[in-house]
Amino acid sequence: MTNKEQILHTALRLFAEQGYDRTPTSQIAREAGVSEGLIFRHYGNKAGLLAAILGAGKAQVDESMQPYARDLDPRAAIAQHIRESIRLVREHRPFWRLVHQMRHQAAVQQAAEPEIDHFHRDIATRLSANFRRLGAAQPELEALLLFAQIDGITLQYLEAPDSYPLDAMQHFLIQKYHDEPFLDQP
Interface residues with its own copies (CB under 8 A)? 17-19, 21-22, 97, 100-101, 103-107, 138, 141, 144-145, 147-153, 155-156, 159, 165, 168-169, 172-173, 176, 179, 184
Contact between 110 and DNA (CB under 7 A)? Answer: no
Distance CA 163, CA 58 (A): 27
- Return the number of the residue (49 or 78) whose C-beta is nearest DNA: 49
| Residue 23 binds DNA (CB under 7 A) | yes
Alpha carbon dihedral 92, 93, 96, 100, in 10-degree steps, equals 180
Instruction: Identify the CA nearest to 178 among candidates 82, 49, 93, 106.
Output: 82
Report in angstroms how near the CB of residue 15 gets to DNA at its nearest: 10
- Asked whether position 165 contacts DNA by CB under 7 A, the answer is no
Name which of 1 and 168 has its Cβ closer to its own copies.
168
- Given DNA, its own copies, none, residue 184, with its beta carbon under 5 to 8 Å by kind, binds its own copies
Give helix then strand counts, H and E, for the chain: 10, 0
Q: 9, 31, 36, 65: which one contacts DNA (CB under 7 A)?
A: 36
If contact means CB under 5 to 8 A according to the sort of partner, which of its own copies, DNA, none does residue 3 touch?
DNA
Closest separation in Å from C-beta 55 to DNA: 17
- On whether the CB atoms of residues 80 and 68 are closer than 8 A, the answer is yes
Per CB under 7 A, 38 contacts DNA: yes
Name the burial class of residue 15, with classes exposed (0-12), middle (13-18) and buried (19+) by CB atoms within 10 angstroms of its CB.
buried
Dist CA 31 CA 63 (whole Å): 30
Q: Does 1 bind DNA (CB under 7 A)?
A: no
Residue 161 near residue 93 (C-beta atoms within 8 A): yes
Other beta carbons within 10 Å of 142 = 21
Residues near DNA (CB under 7 A): 2-4, 23-26, 34-38, 40-42, 45-47
